[in-house]
Amino acid sequence: MSCFSYFKHKTRKLRQRSAPELNDREKSLYSGVDRSSGSTASPRGIPELYEEKAHNLRVFSYLELRHATNDFSRLFKIGEGGFGSVYKGTIKPVGGKGDPILVAIKRLNQDGLQGHKQWLAEVQFLGVVEHPNLVKLLGYCAVDGERGIQRLLVYEFMSNRSLESHLFNKAYDPLPWKRRLEIALGAAQGLAYLHEESEVQVIYRDFKCSNVLLDENFMPKLSDFGLAREGPIAGHTHVSTAVMGTFGYAAPDYIQTGHLTTKSDVWSFGVVLYEILTGRRALERNRPKPEQKLLEWVKLYPPESKKFVLLMDPRLIGQYSIYGAQELAKLADDCLHKSAKDRPTTSQVVERLKQIIQVSEDESSIEKSIIDTSDDDPLDPEENLDESTPSESWTRRMAHLAKLGERVESDSRRKFLILQSAKVP
């Protein structure tokens, strides 16, 4: 009880904030443009759209979120990133009636202005954008008290954690091939919405496996908009920014020049595609030197070479479409083109992923039909008679397998040609 009254006392001393408001400097934070000067060609930017939509976000009291997480108990902690710690919790529905809602609550590390800026960007961007492949922000909490500032974010809870957990944490079952492709497609659709479909163009700037969260059906949703920026205004090719992001994922042209474009996100997407193919992280310092940087290592196994299969994630235990995998690697290579303008657009990435999913499905249905046929056409009827020597039986088995292999190869070659001709330029 005394603990509870202490909290009550403390929270009374905290200055509770309502919807975060932007000062002029913060308004130009997202676009590098001073919109108040009338220099922008875009009629509405994030600040204007936020003002319109801010009412959709709930403003939580600090006390409410302390209760929701059992005072930010370590037992409720589900993750930790550069921004702060993430806790699982439950909140009351709006109006207080109905079942409690499961949420993820991110509490910012108290590290001053940079943290506040990222929190603000997250609230503003996620308060405005809306798509099935973007995580839903339910609300936030901001209090400035004697003992520092508190900034928190409340999201819908994603029960299957992140793509990172499933690709790299051996405690989870490996992701099957089809699911990997569907996750890549959903993530690309989220990016395509930000780049090409939303009212204001958004450059995400932090595309990586840990920011692709997975719901109960493994539907991917992009999270973490703390580094997001508005795209360039009409007549400009890029946004000039300080270089920020995650090492291993940021595009080299952006690192060198600070010029940010949607193609910077496309590069990061290419890195994640290789992580999906190989089950290796962009950077793994505990490996031998030539294998530490994923993008350097994969160059040893080009998609068209016989060695290509050696780069595939061993946890797939060969259960993938080889042609689909080769096409995925080629798509990754295109996203990782040195020259940003030669990288595909995000909607082109979406189209190619759809084709790869199609080709992978066709291949698995052909394999299935071959297995069914071989069931009808037993391997060797004489085998049961036990008249042949083991080596004769083995030779017949191999001949039969070779025959099956030829059929798979010719069917797959045909599909491969179809895919090539349908390829998006």
Ligand X SMILES: Nc1ncnc2c1ncn2[C@@H]1O[C@H](COP(=O)(O)OP(=O)(O)OP(=O)(O)O)[C@@H](O)[C@H]1O
Using CB positions, name the residue nearest to Mg ion: 224
Q: Is 302 in the site for ligand X (CB under 6 A)?
A: no
Give min distance, CB of 215 to ligand X, in A: 9
Q: Decide if 192 contacts 349 (C-beta within 8 A).
A: yes
Q: Decide if 327 contacts 352 (C-beta within 8 A).
A: yes
Q: Decide if 321 contacts 358 (C-beta within 8 A).
A: no
Q: Residues 54, 59, 79, 248: which binds ligand X (CB under 6 A)?
A: 79
Tokens for 157? 């809870």
Question: Which of ligand X, Mg ion, none sits in contact with 161, Cβ below 5 to 8 A by type?
Answer: ligand X
Q: What is the DSSP letter of 203?
A: E
Active site residues: 206
Give min distance, CB of 213 to ligand X, in A: 5
d(CA 97, CA 68): 16
Give min distance, CB of 56 to ligand X, in A: 17
Window contacting Mg ion (CB under 5 A); options: 92-100, 135-143, 203-211, 414-422:
203-211
Q: Is 126 in the site for ligand X (CB under 6 A)?
A: no
73-81: list long-range contacts, CB under 8 Å, 24+ apart: 78/104, 78/161, 79/161, 81/210, 81/224
Q: Is 133 in the site for Mg ion (CB under 5 A)?
A: no
| 221 annotated binding-site participant | no
Per-residue contact flags (x/-) with ligand X for residues 94 to 113, judged by CB under 6 A: ----------x-x-------
Window contacting ligand X (CB under 6 A); options: 44-52, 72-80, 275-283, 413-421:
72-80
| Lookup result for tokens 């405005």 | 128
Q: Is 204 in the site for ligand X (CB under 6 A)?
A: no
Tokens for 19? 């919807």
Tokens for 86? 């993430």
CA–CA distance from 250 to each of 13, 130, 243, 262 (Å)? 42, 25, 9, 12
Q: Which is nearer to ligand X, 49 or 158 (CB)?
A: 158
Q: Which is nearer to ligand X, 135 or 325 (CB)?
A: 135
CA–CA distance from 380 to each of 19, 25, 45, 373 (Å)? 75, 79, 71, 13
Q: Residues 32, 81, 145, 176: which binds ligand X (CB under 6 A)?
A: 81
Q: Is 164 in the site for Mg ion (CB under 5 A)?
A: no
Q: Is 224 in the site for Mg ion (CB under 5 A)?
A: yes
Q: Which is nearer to Mg ion, 191 or 325 (CB)?
A: 191
Q: Decide if 354 contacts 186 (C-beta within 8 A).
A: no
Segment 75 to 114, residues that bind Mg ion, using CB under 5 A? 81
Size of the site for Mg ion (CB under 5 A): 3
Q: Is 121 in the site for ligand X (CB under 6 A)?
A: no
Per-residue contact flags (x/-) with ligand X for residues 222 to 251, judged by CB under 6 A: -xx---------------------x-----
The string of DSSP letters for 24-93 reads HHHHTTTTS--GGGT--SSS--HHHHHHHHGGGSEE--HHHHHHHTTTT-GGGEEEE-SSEEEEEEEEPP
Q: Residues 63, 143, 158, 340: which binds ligand X (CB under 6 A)?
A: 158
Q: Which is nearer to ligand X, 281 or 415 (CB)?
A: 281
CA–CA distance from 182 to each of 314, 357, 360 (Å)? 19, 8, 11
Q: Which is nearer to ligand X, 221 or 238 (CB)?
A: 221
**Planar angle of CA 108, 114, 118, nearest 5 degrees:** 60
Q: Is 268 in the site for Mg ion (CB under 5 A)?
A: no
Quick one: how far is CA 84 from the chain centroid? 19
Chain contacts with ligand X (rule: CB under 6 A): 78-83, 86, 104, 106, 135, 155, 157-158, 161-162, 164-165, 210-211, 213, 223-224, 246
Annotated binding site: 106
